[in-house]
Structure 1
Amino acid sequence: MPSPTPSLTTATATVTVFASPESWIESDAVRQCHQVAALDGMRHVAAMPDLHPGKGAPIGAAMASTVLYPHLVGSDIGCGIAVFPIGLKRAVPERIAARFPDLDRSPDPDDPAWAVAPGGPPAGHVEGLGTVGRGNHFVELARIDTVLAADHADRLGLAAGDLVLIVHSGSRGLGERILRAHTGSHGAGPAPDPAGYLARHDEAVRWGALNRRMLAARVAHALGAAPTEPVVDQCHNLVEVRDGEYLHRKGAAPGDGRDVLVAGTRGTPSYLVAGHAGPTANHSVAHGAGRKMSRADALRRGRAKHTVAQLRRTPVGSLVVCGDRQLLFEEAPTAYKRIEQVVADLVAHDLATPVASTVPLVTYKTPDPGPTHRDGRRRGRE
């Protein structure tokens, strides 16, 4: 097993990058890791192979400190990825894409998806519940392609050929409101009342998990299937108290004996992995492919290289439902690192065991603004 990039000691903390020489790791992202390591109370920064620069803090890092820093978690507290089995007899991408509901719009009061929230939403925050959001969030119908570890797949009740819904979303406006309340008074400084912040943070984490269930239920009902419970649901933007310290994760999933969906792109596989990361990696694993281009670069290069039609039909034959043309280019597969390299780095550093790969069939980003049925569903292109 190759060693991770050696731990580099700052005045207060160590930084370890779990990536191979073949991995695309930007120097700006590593620089941000060292900036975080210099914060008061910081003990150790573990950077995952999907590491890339973020706003004020690296994305793809787990950061252990004796001091709680809300900006290291960011505004989308509770963001994560869940995997739901779905029972469909046939999955023709063109027909499935036309039946997706408008996930930018909150469900109607009589929508059956509300059944997954019998007690109401955490913090009483209804605004945005059941909506997917922008950026890299998505809801995807995918097929289990290759089973790589049969014992783990059996444990999850998954087999090759099974269909699943993959939901990537978070706490929407609730998490943003929590961070804004902190930064308005304290900027990027520590939380003066860690217990108070954690109480609000925990509500946002629960809200994000409920939102993923709502999204999956809305899509399942629209496709004529019964909603199911997730077999995997891990949050990758959160802070937890562990061994007397605050473990901040920003784009890093809990990897201490938990199953994680490491997301690829709209046109590549994703990978279910069984995490077994130890303290050197701050008990964390990667959460996805990780960007290798900024959104501005992806937009500029993508417009010169791709057409909208090419981005809506991917190399693996799947469809992308996205009425926002700019977002199509920003989220093009070429804007991301190779998911196979990210997973290979997790394996090489003994952080995770691949369980199965998934191949996208339909990925929903935003509503298609095309013609609609009388019931409000978009009509497929005839």
Structure 2
Amino acid sequence: MKRASLSPQHSPPQSTVAVFASPTSWIESDAVAQCHQVAKLDGMIHVAAMPDLHPGKGAPIGAAMASSVLYPFLVGSDIGCGIAVFPIRLKRAVPARLAPRFPDLDRAPEPDDPAWAVVDGDVPTGHLEGLGTVGRGNHFVELARIDTVFSPDHVSRLGLAAGDLVLIVHSGSRGLGERILRAHTEIHGAGPAPDPAAYLTMHDDAVRWGSLNRRLMAARVAHALGTEPTEPIVDECHNLVEIRDGVYLHRKGAAPGDGRDVLIAGTRGTPSYLVAAHAGPEANHSVAHGAGRKMSRADALRRGRVKHTVEQLRSTSVGSLVVCGDRQLLFEEAPTAYKRIEQVIADLVDHQLATPVATTVPLVTYKTADIGYSRRKRGRS
């Protein structure tokens, strides 16, 4: 762990930065520099950077930041973004047969869609726009199989075993969170919330909305694959702020790590890791949320077009298939654009922040609707 004390003019003497990564881990200097810039903010106490740290727009992604002042821009626009895991029962899991059956998660479900049954009560703020949709960027819905089990007792307590299938849903509050941040930044820019209680009321609604959105998408996929929806066994948000120990703990791409089960996403071509998180105050009670980008989207697009064809990116080295009708997104989100998930997990273990429970291996990863997918499959057969 790398640690530095800061005493800038407008920051209290105790403002510190800790990076929970080994010397061999890929950590961009720009991302570390962003952590130090955040540490200079008025009221900032401690910045904990996870091993998936990478630069963001104005603030680092993969960091947990404790402050006596609430800064909405440190959480960002996708308030409530997180990852949920749902058990799913299928008789056979053949990727080529299941991929074409995924619903169009770019469009809201029809009024008569049976998935709406999971919406129990009112929708937070009554915001229906985008509900039940995945969004773009690194969001995804994935059918995966439990592979390596490190802790059989723990996996059993979750109702799972090696070989079982799960749906992994990564998405957030869509336009609702963006609307909340824009309302703040149009007046206050990157400054603090003038009324923290008012912001937190809207923020908490967006967090609940994001969780409901993940449940609705999982139900849509379950019905489309011919089975019934289930309750999530994991649903942790990694873009949020909470009041902890009397201060505001901002998380931007960092999952709560205080005694919870967390799914740390790999890529569409590598395993993900279910871990038992037990991070303490030095890490701001947080763990990594994924592999973390190694390349910018522009670099991934430029390099990927040299090395791969579109068709090559529709399948992966682990035998899974990718549903993605956006060719640019295929390149931007290629597995090579991300860090090695094994190194991220090793860093968490070395710093005693988490213990691996099991891995999941992708079968089908949905990014965005691919209208021509079924047509191509029929043509080959």
TM-score normalised to structure 1 length: 0.96
AA in 2 matched with 1:106: A
Contact 1:95–1:380 under 8 Å retained in 2: no
AA in 1 matched with 2:319: G
Q: Mapping of 1:261-276 within 5 angstroms?
A: 261-276=263-278
Unaligned runs of 5+ in 1: none
AA in 2 matched with 1:17: V
CA distance in 1, matches of 2:354, 2:163: 23
Contact 2:100–2:373 under 8 Å retained in 1: no
Match of 1:5 among 2, 5, 16: 2
CA distance in 2, matches of 1:379, 1:169: 31
Q: CA deviation at 1:370?
A: 1.0
Match of 1:148 among 140, 144, 150: 150
AA in 2 matched with 1:319: L
- Three-state SS of the structure 2 residue aligned to 1:365 is strand
Q: CA deviation at 1:129?
A: 0.3
Unaligned runs of 5+ in 2: none
Q: CA deviation at 1:93?
A: 0.1
Q: Deviations over 1:29-56 (max 9, x none)?
A: 0000000000000000000000000001
Contact 1:8–1:16 under 8 Å retained in 2: no
Contact 1:147–1:160 under 8 Å retained in 2: yes
Contact 1:15–1:33 under 8 Å retained in 2: yes
AA in 1 matched with 2:200: L
Q: CA deviation at 1:8?
A: 3.0
Q: Mapping of 1:326-365 within 5 angstroms?
A: 326-365=328-367
AA in 2 matched with 1:335: A
CA distance in 1, matches of 2:332, 2:378: 25
CA distance in 1, matches of 2:44, 2:5: 13
CA distance in 1, matches of 2:6, 2:19: 13
AA in 1 matched with 2:101: R
Match of 2:174 among 150, 172, 175: 172
- Residue aligning to 1:163: 165
Q: Deviations over 1:169-201 (max 9, x none)?
A: 000000000000000000000000000000000
AA in 2 matched with 1:125: H
- Three-state SS of the structure 1 residue aligned to 2:368 is coil
Q: Deviations over 1:247-277 (max 9, x none)?
A: 0000000000000000000100000000000
Match of 1:46 among 45, 48, 52: 48
- Three-state SS of the structure 1 residue aligned to 2:5 is strand
- Residue aligning to 1:186: 188
Report the CA distance shift for 1:379/1:41 in structure 2 as closer, same or farther (over 3 A): farther
Q: Mapping of 1:253-268 within 5 angstroms?
A: 253-268=255-270
Q: CA deviation at 1:380?
A: 8.5
Match of 2:369 among 354, 367, 370: 367
Report the CA distance shift for 1:25/1:380 in structure 2 as closer, same or farther (over 3 A): farther
Report the CA distance shift for 1:120/1:381 in structure 2 as closer, same or farther (over 3 A): farther
CA distance in 2, matches of 1:10, 1:250: 24
CA distance in 2, matches of 1:10, 1:75: 30
Contact 1:82–1:168 under 8 Å retained in 2: yes
CA distance in 1, matches of 2:294, 2:217: 28
CA distance in 2, matches of 1:113, 1:381: 32
- Residue aligning to 2:59: 57
Question: Moved runs in structure 1, 4+ residues, more than 6 A?
Answer: none
Report the CA distance shift for 1:107/1:379 in structure 2 as closer, same or farther (over 3 A): farther
- Residue aligning to 1:99: 101
- Residue aligning to 2:197: 195
Report the CA distance shift for 1:17/1:380 in structure 2 as closer, same or farther (over 3 A): farther
- Residue aligning to 1:290: 292
AA in 2 matched with 1:195: A
Q: Mapping of 1:7-22 within 5 angstroms?
A: 7-11=4-8, 12=12, 13-22=15-24
CA distance in 1, matches of 2:113, 2:378: 20
Match of 1:247 among 246, 249, 266: 249
- RMSD of aligned Cα (Å): 1.2
Q: Deviations over 1:141-195 (max 9, x none)?
A: 0000000112221221111000000000000000000000000000000000000
- Residue aligning to 1:85: 87
Report the CA distance shift for 1:274/1:23 in structure 2 as closer, same or farther (over 3 A): same
Q: Deviations over 1:277-312 (max 9, x none)?
A: 000000000000000100000000000011111111
Q: CA deviation at 1:6?
A: 2.4
Q: CA deviation at 1:7?
A: 3.6
Contact 2:3–2:16 under 8 Å retained in 1: no
CA distance in 1, matches of 2:166, 2:64: 28
- Residue aligning to 2:233: 231
Identity of matched residues, %: 82
User: For structure 1, which segment, 9-18 or 23-32, has the greater mean C-alpha deviation from structure 2 after superposition?
Assistant: 9-18
Q: CA deviation at 1:119?
A: 1.4
- Three-state SS of the structure 1 residue aligned to 2:120 is coil
Contact 2:253–2:289 under 8 Å retained in 1: yes
